């Protein structure tokens, strides 16, 4: 019996997937057939996605809210599209883009060509946007550093007893762990201060 599956993905545990789930339920995907990953789309090593791929059979349909939920890497999106539509012989429906609906078996050659072309363009745009975000972030960090902005936690002030504890440690009277305990800091912090 042909099944309709849904795949949703958010990039982190903190993000909310409700928008995607509501769209899939509205389409008719049953909750038990929705697979969800809460991790980055940079690759396809995702637990729920892998389980979904094992379940999909010829004639089934995979529903996703938008193409970037499948992934953000141009080559990988195209490869997964090929795996699902050609190897698995299942259909894909991208809810945000009606042109990307492979259920229509009666599509003529022009319709198939347009769907493939749209997929390639959107996959390219998704990857390009990811690279631009990374570039903008790097440029923003460089500009902030040039203005004197410091990133990360401010360095801890060394307690007044640090010189005495350091001297005891250097004379092998106490261990590094004991020195850290006396200073009420982490062992690794003490070692970095010593360097």
Known catalytic residues? 11
Where do the H-state alpha helices sit in the chain?
18-27, 47-55, 67-70, 74-82, 109-146, 162-170, 176-183, 187-194
Residue 40: which of 68, 20, 61, 1 has the closest Cα?
A: 68
- Spatial separation of the C-alpha atoms in residues 1 and 59, rounded to whole Å: 8
CA nearest to 3, candidates 52, 53, 57? 57
DSSP state of 72: S
């Amino acid at each position: 019996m042909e099944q309709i599956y849904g795949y949703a993905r958010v990039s982190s545990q903190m993000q909310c997937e409700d928008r995607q789930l509501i769209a899939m339920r509205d389409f008719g995907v049953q909750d038990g057939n929705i697979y969800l990953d809460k991790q980055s789309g940079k690759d396809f090593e995702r637990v729920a996605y892998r389980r979904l791929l094992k379940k999909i059979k010829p004639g089934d349909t995979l529903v996703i809210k938008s193409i970037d939920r499948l992934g953000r890497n141009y080559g990988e999106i195209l490869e997964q599209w090929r795996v699902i539509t050609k190897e698995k012989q299942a259909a894909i429906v991208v809810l945000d883009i009606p042109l990307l609906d492979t259920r229509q078996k009666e599509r003529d050659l022009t319709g198939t060509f347009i769907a493939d072309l749209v997929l390639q363009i959107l996959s390219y745009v998704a990857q390009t946007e990811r690279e631009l975000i990374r570039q903008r972030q790097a440029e923003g960090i460089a500009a902030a550093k040039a203005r004197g902005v410091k990133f990360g936690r401010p360095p801890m002030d060394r307690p007044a007893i640090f010189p005495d504890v350091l001297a005891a440690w250097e004379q092998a009277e106490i261990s590094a762990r004991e020195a850290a305990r006396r200073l009420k800091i982490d062992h690794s912090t003490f070692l970095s201060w010593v360097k």
